[in-house]
Structure 1
Amino acid sequence: MSVRVRRVHEPPEPDDGLRVLVDRRWPHGMAEDAAEIDEWPRTLTPSAELREWYHAGEGDYAEFRHRYEAELAEPGSAALLDGLRESARTGPVTLLTASKNPRHSHAAVLAALLST
């Protein structure tokens, strides 16, 4: 199973496989055709409330991760997550984010969950 996280502003690579944008909003300054996105499951992104809470500096990454995993356990999100997990079993999946720190972002949480 191959799941990786990359910044959406980096050029596509041949071994990216399925390219999935995991941000709720379209990346600033990115043309749609340049991104080469295969899927954009917006409901897998953190809720607006959680995103605002985390970016306001009210909590740490561990607490953000815990809250986000709870959101992903909801039936609609869990079904989408299972679908991406199945895609990862059949080929590489690259999760794309505009986050400046992908290692401490929701994309890293998704990658960890998809790899299980």
Structure 2
Amino acid sequence: MKIVTKRIYDPPTSDDGYRMLVDRLWPRGMTKEKADLSEWNKDLAPSTALRVWFHHNPDLWNQFSKKYKEELEQQDLGKNWLKAHRQQAVITLLYATKDKIHSHATILQQYLQELSKKTKP
């Protein structure tokens, strides 16, 4: 399984595979048709409190990364989600932020990849 990240505003391609929006809020100006989603998973997104606290401040990135990973581990949703989607060859995690470096999707990508290695059938 290959897990990649991509801005939702970038056009969909056949290489995207399973397209999942991982933002808690719907992206501004995006239609459902344009988004071409397989799934919108708000549960794997950072909590509202964490998202508001971070507010895309690069100075808080390391703290945000740690807190978001803790949220993911406490909720334990990643393992069940991966199990349900293990047949997907490619999963594209879609996000709206312009800052590709400080996007929670990169943290989620790394987290799911690590979980995938640990939970191989």
Report the 3-state secondary structure (helix = DSSP H, G, I; strand = E; otherwise coil) of the residue aligned with 1:4: strand
Matched, 1:85 2:55: no
SS in 2 for 1:43: coil
**By how many angstroms is 1:13 displaced?**
0.7
Q: CA contact under 8 A between 2:56 and 2:102: conserved in structure 1? A: no
| TM-score, structure 2 as length reference | 0.84
Q: How many residues align?
A: 113
Q: Which residue of 1 aligns with 2:39?
A: 39
Q: How big is each residue's C-alpha offset from its partner over 1:42-84, in whole Å with a ceiling of 9 and x where there is no partner? A: 1111111111111174952111000001111123xx23x1244
2:111 paired residue number: 113
Please tell me the residue identity of whatever aligns with 1:82.
Answer: K
**In the alignment, does 2:101 pair up with 1:103?**
yes
Kept after mapping to 2: 8 A contact 1:2/1:88 = no
Identity of matched residues, %? 36
Task: Point out where structure 2 has 5 or more consecutive residues left out of the alignment.
Answer: 115-121
Instruction: Measure, in 2, the Cα distance between the counterparts of 1:90 and 1:114.
Output: 13
Distance verdict in 2 for CA 1:68–1:51, change over 3 Å: same
Q: Secondary structure at the match of 2:46?
A: coil
Match of 2:24 in 1: 24
Q: Return the offset for 1:90.
A: 3.8
RMSD: 1.8
Cα shift at 1:15: 0.9
Any unmatched runs of 5+ in structure 1? none
Mapped partners of 2:86, 2:3: distance in 1 = 6
Select the structure that is richer in helix: 1
